Amino acid sequence: MFKQRFAVVVLAALFSSGAYAGHWTYEGEEGPEHWGDISADFAICAKGKTQTPVDIQHEVKVARFDAIKFNYVTAASEILNNGHTVQVNVPAGSFINVDGTDFQLKQFHFHTPSENSVHGKAYPMEMHLVHADKDGNLAVVAVMFKESSENKVLARLWKQLPTHADEKNILAEAVNPVTLLPKAKHYYRFDGSLTTPPCSEGVRWLVLKDPIAVSREQIDAFAAVVHEHNARPLQPVGARVIISE
């Protein structure tokens, strides 16, 4: 019963327009410091011990570190504004393999500035590629953006950037998310949570080390849509171990 409820809340949070259980924001009385009080479904936002985002510090190098196998074969279909972020939905068929398990890519979305940071350094933007296995376990691949020249792939998405909440656009150009990954796929790994309510834990976090390029104009265009920022503050690492190769 609990597990079923958990799945309903998580899936609603991930794939609906975000109106489930309680209204929340990134500032003020419904901001991150208060998420745990807004709804019983959000209690873990305050009480959790393995919350995301984190500052990646003191990572432990492990000798045997399996590569993430990316099998992204479907093009993104639609881009929508859910009031918290801009999300790009991906039709079934694309997946990663981690720990011998396939996790289907459901959607990817963006945060500005970055939510996670590395050795105290934040980036101007971060992309989260959200995957689920057949039992509903989640794995998020995070890609950092560094301010540089225009990102040509992102430009194709930003042409149809939905500027107001609940706006959804069918993508005119095919964009395979594999083209938004850095060449080298080295990564940090830790156990964490959703970074938005209900902040559910048990999420495998895979943060790619190499950032990709984005222009100042592209960051500004996104920031305007999310009312300047949509990043949850850093959460304590606690007893967790962050590993990398």
The residues of the shown chain that bind Zn ion, judged by CB under 5 A, are 128
Those residues whose C-beta lies under 8 Å from the C-beta of residue 199, and which sit 6 or more positions away, are 35, 36, 42, 44, 45, 48, 51, 193
Nearer CB in complex with Zn ion: 128/189: 128
Tokens of 61: 């190098």
**Shortest gap between Cβ of 185 and Zn ion (angstroms)?**
19
- Distance of closest approach, residue 1 Cβ to Zn ion, in angstroms: 28
Q: How far is the CB of 195 from Zn ion (least distance, A)?
A: 5
Q: Clarify whether 131 is annotated catalytic.
A: no
The residue among 174, 74, 83 whose CA lies nearest residue 131 is: 74
Nearer to Zn ion, 128 or 204 (CB): 128
Active-site position among 34, 84, 128, 164: 84
Question: Judged by CB, which is closer to Zn ion: 128, or 131?
Answer: 128
Structural contact between residues 59 and 188, judged by C-beta atoms closer than 8 angstroms: yes
User: What are the tokens at 230?
Assistant: 């949509």
In the complex, the smallest distance separating the C-beta of residue 234 from Zn ion, rounded to whole angstroms, is: 14
| Residue number, nearest CB to Zn ion | 128
Q: Which residues are catalytic?
A: 84
